Amino acid sequence: MAFYRAHVLVCKGTGCTASGSPSVYEALKKEIERRGLDREVALVETGCHGMCEMGPIVVIYPEGSLYCRVTVDDVPEVVEEHLYKGRLVQRLLYTTPDTKFKVPHYRDIPFYSKQLRIALRNCGYINPDNIDEYIARDGYEALAKALTTMKPEEVITEIRASGLRGRGGGGFPTGAKWEFCRKAQGDKKYVICNADEGDPGAFMDRSLLEGDPHAVIEGMMLGAYAIGADEGYIYCRAEYPLAIKRLRGAIAQAGEYGLIGDNIMGSDFSFHVHIKEGAGAFVCGEETALMASIQGERGMPYPRPPFPANKGLWDKPTNINNVETWANVPTIIRNGGAWYASIGTEKSKGTKVFALTGKVNNTGLVEVPMGTTLRDIVFDMGGGILNNRKFKAVQIGGPSGGCLAEEHLDLPVDYESLTAAGAIMGSGGLVVIDEDTCMVDVSKFFLEFTQKESCGKCVPCREGTKQMLLILDKISSGKGRMEDLKILEDLAVMVKEMSLCGLGQTAPNPVLTTLRYFRDEYEAHIRDKKCPAMVCKALISYVIDPEKCRKCGLCAKNCPVNCIAGDRNTPYVIDQEKCIKCGTCLEVCPFQAVSKV
């Protein structure tokens, strides 16, 4: 076995790939070879590190230095300074925004220091295309332990003890769900991995599948062993081609080693898994619609009861869990349920992966123990609000979730506290909102999404979300009346209670939470016909201050609808009738003469 004195890990997650990490990888490879270092330095491609804002990311061991935004031009210096001379390239290290401190070891970067990476333990560490690296990190040890020393019931006991709850959003105790399925009568049982991550802006599952596909597969096999299934499906959205490719590769490699298929590791347990690609429907992330889709039917949900644990895929007992849930299972079995339960809060154990996005400095994936406060996530790990603007709200749980205000910043993140505040944990989307975002617009954005993705089967969701959206449109264009708020709220409550599936039941959440915590913004739109955040186009105007205008004409030149008139001697004026409120004039004016009112 070769021994290397240094490992250079290049992130090949989708985000970094989009920023150009493949070329950086190639450049590094060439440079290392050119310098004759290829026998001493190993170059590894890994999955997503999580700090996607700073990509392409290159981490070099044994120092553990994390270099940010590495370009092809930086490569010679990195190889020369770091690999040859052993000196850190300071300018590429992560710089804390307030103290401007250059952090030498990545674990001290605030983004990482507060994380506890259990599900993401291998992401950014291993090459996901090489099963040996997964095995070297204790991969498939849990499966071996279970198959040789544990009975299926004992596996369930460990999971129950761990307190693991469904990470897809439902938060249902996983151990209990497995037990229902185990007890269900059936000659055939299935396990399913829900990898149809549909929330806009959520990429936790994608990174997991791309960075550590074996963790999910091993988790599924442990689950199958526990409930008595021998076949499984991974329903992965077709928009994740890299994840699907890595999964297929991982399954093939595991098959070669006898770690999946018939008589795994020589035991009586057999397991075969199929990958089913989604086809662009958010509603197919709902478990009953997902199963309908696997069966070749139109992806529309079915009322429950009966529950999938008793009557699921092709009417057989089925256990469905989210990608992140499955990924936690091997670690729990290896370290024991009690260990997992020692992390987190009383009712929410373990960790949760969040996709931190929005108006923060550090966007990316973070995995934190349950109970971490929102303040820590947004300000410490996220590095505070972008451009030093003021924090206004944080939207948790994607289109199914709710908006929380400043008063909730010290809320510990766990299922119960979030639900009590009106939001939901959801799959982990966390969007940070600043003072320049209009809350009416935010709820309209999410409602537009859920309304478009509604399958159309049940009346409350199909018609209700449409009417709610119409009211929001009215309000954001200044035509709303105070009675509309009552109609909107009543409708939201009804849709939430009466819809057939989770899509309809949670679609009103953004509306309800924004009405609860930001009602004043709605009322400003209606009563004053003003948008406090200056976002809703119908309620804002762009004006040029004649005092500040230097008559340079740049605004007129760039205006897409030619609505700005003036000349060398006359201050320019915007024709409000024709203005489409695109904001280009404000952006290009060198004298700050254009303002929004």
Partner 1 sequence: MKEITLTIDGKTCKGAQGDTIMEVARKNDVYIPALCYLEGLTPIGSCRMCVVEVEKNPKMLTACTTPALDGMVVHTQTEKLREYRRQMLELIFAGRNHFCMYCSQSGDCELQDLAIEHGMDSVRYPYLYAGFENDATHRDIQIDHNRCILCLRCIRVCAEKVGTHTLDLQKRGWNATVVSDLGRRLGESDTCTTCGACAQVCPTGTITLREFAYRGRRKDCDDVIENVCPLCPVGCRIKVYVRTGSIARVEGTAVTEPDGGQLCRKGRWTLPRSSERERISVPMIREGSHYREAGWEEALGLVAEKFKKAHEADSDGVLVSSLCTDEELALFVSLFKDGLGMQRLDTFDGDILRGFVKGFEPFSRQGVRPFTAAHNILESDCLVNLSAEPDDEAPVIASYMRVGALRNGAALLNISCKPNPYGDLTDIDAVAPTPEQSAALVQGLADLVAGLKFPGGAQGGSTQDAMALLSEETGIPERTIEEILERLRAARKPIFLLGGCLSRNPAAVTSAVNLAIACGAFFDDGIGVVPLVSSGNSLGAINTVLAKEPWIGEKKLDFLYVYSSGMVPEDEASLSAISGTKFVVVQCPFWAQPLVNLADVLLPAPAWYERSGHYCTIEGERRRLNVVVPPKGEVRGLASILKDLSADLGVQPGRPEESPCENVYASEKPPTEAQMVLLEEVRK
Contact flags string 392-431 toward partner 1, x per CB under 8 A: ----------------------------------------
CA distance 436 to 422: 23
**DSSP code per residue over 307-358:** PTTTS-GGGS-EEEEEHHHHHHHHHHHHH-HHHHHTSB-SSSBSEEEEEEEE
Among 61, 172, 257, 302, binds partner 1 (CB under 8 A): 302
CB nearer to partner 1: pick between 466 and 578: 466
Interaction of residue 498 with partner 1, rule CB under 8 A: yes
497: contact with partner 1 by CB under 8 A: yes
Contacts 24+ apart (CB under 8 A), 293-301: 293/235, 294/192, 294/233, 294/235, 299/455, 300/455, 300/456, 300/457, 301/455, 301/457, 301/500, 301/501, 301/502, 301/503
SS3 of residue 426 by DSSP: coil
For partner 1, the closer CB: 459 or 482: 459
Of 312, 460, 502, 566, the residue at the interface with partner 1 (CB under 8 A) is 460
Tell me if 275 contacts partner 1 by CB under 8 A: no
Binding test (CB under 8 A) with partner 1, winner from 64, 241, 258, 303: 303
Please identify which residue in 136, 279, 338, 470 interacts with partner 1, judged by CB under 8 A: 470
> In whole angstroms, what is the distance from residue 242 CA to residue 248 CA?
10
Distance CA 133, CA 555 (A): 57
Q: Which of 155, 273, 500, 574 binds partner 1 (CB under 8 A)?
A: 500
Q: Decide whether 152 or 173 has the Cβ nearer to partner 1.
A: 173
Least gap, CB of 423 to partner 1 (angstroms):
19
Kindly state the tokens that stand for 88.
């850190």
What minimum distance in Å lies between the beta carbon of 459 and partner 1? 5
Question: How many amino acids of this chain bind partner 1 (CB under 8 A)?
Answer: 31
What minimum distance in Å lies between the beta carbon of 239 and partner 1? 17
Give yes or no for residue 466 binding partner 1 (CB under 8 A): yes
Binder among 136, 338, 487, 565 for partner 1 (CB under 8 A): 487
Q: In the set 154, 490, 520, 528, which binds partner 1 (CB under 8 A)? A: 490
CB of 187 to partner 1, least distance (A): 16
Interface region with partner 1, contact rule CB under 8 A, candidates 268-276, 358-366, 465-473, 519-527: 465-473
Question: Least distance in Å: CB of 472 to partner 1?
Answer: 13
Tokens of 324: 């992140």
Candidates 8, 89, 281, 544; binder of partner 1 (CB under 8 A) is 281
Contact between 313 and partner 1 (CB under 8 A)? no
For residue 381, give both structure tokens.
């790990």
Q: Which is nearer to partner 1, 53 or 196 (CB)?
A: 196
Give whichever of 252 and 459 is closer to partner 1, judged by the CB atom.
Answer: 459
In angstroms, give the least distance from the CB of 505 to partner 1. Answer: 9
Contact between 506 and partner 1 (CB under 8 A)? no
Q: How far is the CB of 304 from partner 1 (least distance, A)?
A: 8
List binders of partner 1 among 440-459 (CB under 8 A): 451-459
How many angstroms separate the CA atoms of 502 and 287, rounded? 9
Amino acid residing at 234: I
253 binds partner 1 (CB under 8 A): no
Choose the stretch contacting partner 1; rule: CB under 8 A; options: 126-134, 404-412, 462-470, 525-533: 462-470
CA distances from 586 to 367, 436, 530 (A): 39, 15, 19
Which residue in this structure is represented by tokens 């080693």? 257
491 binds partner 1 (CB under 8 A): yes
Residue 338 or 470 having the CB closest to partner 1:
470
Query: Is-cis flag, bond preceding 508, omega within 30?
Result: no
Query: How far apart, in whole angstroms, are the C-alpha atoms of residue 562 and residue 577?
Result: 12
238 vs 459, which CB is nearer to partner 1? Answer: 459
The piece of 298-306, 321-329, 385-393, 575-583 that touches partner 1 (CB under 8 A) is 298-306
Q: Among 462, 516, 529, 551, which residue interacts with partner 1 (rule: CB under 8 A)?
A: 462
Half-sphere CA count of 558, side-chain side, radius 13 A: 13
Choose, by CB under 8 A, the member of 252, 279, 482, 494 that binds partner 1. Answer: 494
Tokens matching residue 350: 């373990």
- Tokens at residue 53, please? 């804002």
CB of 334 to partner 1, least distance (A): 37
CA dihedral sign, ordered 252, 256, 262, 265: negative
Partners of 274 in beta bridges: 233
Q: What is the dihedral of CA 522, 526, 532, 533, to 10 degrees?
A: 70
> Residue 160: which H helix or E strand, with range?
helix 152-162
Q: Residues 82, 88: contact at Cβ < 8 Å?
A: yes
Nearer to partner 1, 324 or 453 (CB): 453
Dihedral sign of CA atoms 36, 42, 48, 49 in order: negative
Q: 23, 95, 96, 467: which one contacts partner 1 (CB under 8 A)?
A: 467
Q: Considering the complex, what minimum distance in angstroms separates the CB of residue 515 from partner 1?
A: 17
DSSP letter assigned to residue 97: T
Q: Please, what is the angle between helix 152-162 and helix 174-183, to 10°?
A: 150
Which residues lie near partner 1 (CB under 8 A)?
281, 283, 298, 302-303, 305-306, 451-460, 462-464, 466-467, 470, 487, 490-491, 494, 497-500
